Amino acid sequence: MSKLKENTLANLLSLGEVLLATEGKLLNPTYNEEDFVFTSIAIDSRNCVEGSFFVPLVGNLDGHDFILSAAENGAKTVFVTDFYAKFHEKEIASFIDSGLCLISVSHTMYALQKMAAYYVEKFPNLKKVAITGSSGKTTTKEILVSLLQKKYKTVYNEGNLNSETGLPLSVFAIRDEHEWAVFEMGMNRRGEIRELAQVLKPNIAIITNIGSAHIGNIGTKDLIAEEKKSVFSFFETSSIAIIPVFDEYSEYLQTNTKGQIVLYGNYEALHIRAVKDRGLEGSVFLMEDQEVSFPLYGSFNFLNALAALHCAKIAGLGINEIKRGLEELRPSFGRAEIFNGEIAIVQDCYNANPESMNASIEYFETLHWEGRKILILADMLELGFDSETQHRLVGKKLKTLSFDMIFLLGSQMDWAYEELLKGHDTDEDGDGKNEEKIYYNAFISDADFGNAVNDILVHVNKGDLLLLKGSRGMKLERISEKLIKTFNMQGCVLC
């Protein structure tokens, strides 16, 4: 897929199309439309290149303050808010004199979304898939993309550019040659999924699950389900909703949903049989009498694969394309990454919520391993008022499972630590340790990080298996880096 900041020769939209899409007003008193340039788009002035359209967002920082920087990096066209245009006439005049094309809109982020929606509509033959859910979105997207690419020219949002700005930016990577588009949709607030659905207007939408991720922003799981269901808001009778059959909200997600409904979760619906768990090497199964290997471990990842497989079958992929698509799949950073060497590290630290945390530790506990198994768990962020309850539940869960050593990191994991110690010998000297080999570190300062790493390095031996699980903000990959260096794993195998 083309990078967002890549410069191309053709304009993505004409000036007239931008003004029509956004109901914007051209501020340049005299402007030759032939001079209009819009070959890439950016919301960060540092990402602007020659021909960029710069969209200054207003939040903790005011993006208008970076218009000059954007212009110096090559931006030719810029949105400004009506408010900014009214009260910064001197700056507006200076920008126009420098050659910038200025377009005034009521709200720059919503203008970006409207412009993106207009751009998507220029590709009426493009098959568009939206993927949302509380967890598993990115993995499902990557599985589906790996499958579709075996038959079609496929465009998708890179990494987790799935937000109110990330998805609109991503759709500008669509080109005439693309046949399928796969776009992940995330949310941090109410109404966001519907906005993104309005941009993409998907033909197919997959919901992976309804969990507690971002409950601190949304309020309740019922409201989260309502928000996720809004991905179907712009469905037509030909649209297809792919819904998890075993999710507690499955029936609700199906109710009054326009178009065809496909339920996933049962092997038989895809003619899959003889599924064998291969531990950290994933699984192998028979599909249409062909043996297929799936390289990602855990039943939760296999469930993501089932959702992607239903979509692949809808797209007309044959068994040979499916086999290649699954077997050539590789995990992305922080998602089911496995480093093998003198020790083995499972790095699953890009995201964490109560559902994914429980699934990971339950799988880890049942996994057969000749050596010791060590948990390194960090805070689950963005849980808001529910954080204490959910972290205490993790502690209670850990009491029912068996591990050789547990490290709990982060201020919120203190609640899990308290629950885990109930009924155990207490930490009488206050050093965050006890004879049950349970360790806690607030993990706030650089000193905390250093102490946590030292504790871990002291206790890890050759042959150990370590699971690192926590929210992205905890940056657990820093621990992996230290472990890899200490155990001479720089050339280790990444499964």
Q: Is residue 63 assigned to a domain?
A: yes
Whether the per-residue pLDDT at 31 is higher than 80: the answer is yes
| 314 and 364 belong to one structural domain | no
Number of domains in the chain: 3
Q: Is residue 341 assigned to a domain?
A: yes
Percent of the chain exceeding pLDDT 70 equals: 94
| 290 and 179 belong to one structural domain | yes
Label residue 495 by pLDDT band (50, 70, 90). Answer: very low
Q: How far is CA 52 from CA 3, 44, 155, 177, in A?
A: 13, 11, 20, 22
Whether the pTM exceeds 0.75: the reply is yes
The number of beta carbons lying within 10 Å of the beta carbon of residue 320 is 11
| 318 and 342 belong to one structural domain | no
| 82 and 128 belong to one structural domain | no
| 148 and 189 belong to one structural domain | yes
What tokens were used for 482?
């230290």
Q: Is residue 6 assigned to a domain?
A: no
Nearest-angstrom CA–CA distance, 174 and 147 = 18
Among 30-34, 288-292, 333-337, which stretch is predicted with the lowest mean pLDDT? 333-337
Q: Is residue 2 assigned to a domain?
A: no
Question: Given the structure tokens 């602007």, which residue do they identify?
Answer: 48
In the listed set 72, 106, 140, which residue is the last one of a domain according to the structure?
A: 106
Whether the per-residue pLDDT at 389 is higher than 70: the answer is yes
| 323 and 341 belong to one structural domain | no
Domain residues for 80?
15-106
79 has which bridge partners?
Answer: 103
> Which residues, in sequence order, are CB contacts of 235 under 8 Å at separation 6+?
205, 241, 257, 258, 259
CATH at residue 233? 3.40.1190.10
Q: What is the pLDDT of residue 349?
A: 84
Q: What is the pLDDT of residue 372?
A: 94
> What is the number of residues in the chain?
495
Q: Is residue 112 assigned to a domain?
A: no
Tens digit of each residue's pLDDT (9 = 90 or more) over 115-147: 999 999 999 999 999 999 988 898 999 999 999
Q: What is the pLDDT of residue 4?
A: 42
Q: Is residue 407 assigned to a domain?
A: yes
Q: What is the pLDDT of residue 9?
A: 56
| 259 and 138 belong to one structural domain | yes
In the listed set 327, 356, 373, which residue is the last one of a domain according to the structure?
A: 327
| 300 and 389 belong to one structural domain | no
Among 2-6, 31-35, 151-155, which stretch is predicted with the lowest mean pLDDT? 2-6
Tens digit of each residue's pLDDT (9 = 90 or more) over 338-351: 888 899 999 988 88
Tens digit of each residue's pLDDT (9 = 90 or more) over 393-451: 999 999 989 899 999 999 999 999 999 888 665 554 454 445 458 899 888 887 888 88
Tens digit of each residue's pLDDT (9 = 90 or more) over 442-469: 888 878 888 888 889 999 999 999 999 9
Query: What secondary structure letter does DSSP report for 364?
Result: H
| 71 and 214 belong to one structural domain | no
Whether the per-residue pLDDT at 155 is higher than 90: the answer is yes
> Which residues, in sequence order, are CB contacts of 282 under 8 Å at separation 6+?
293, 294, 295, 296, 297, 301
| 148 and 169 belong to one structural domain | yes
Q: Is residue 245 assigned to a domain?
A: yes
In the listed set 327, 361, 382, which residue is the last one of a domain according to the structure?
A: 327
| 289 and 142 belong to one structural domain | yes
CATH at residue 358? 3.90.190.20
CATH at residue 19? 3.40.1390.10
Q: Is residue 310 assigned to a domain?
A: yes
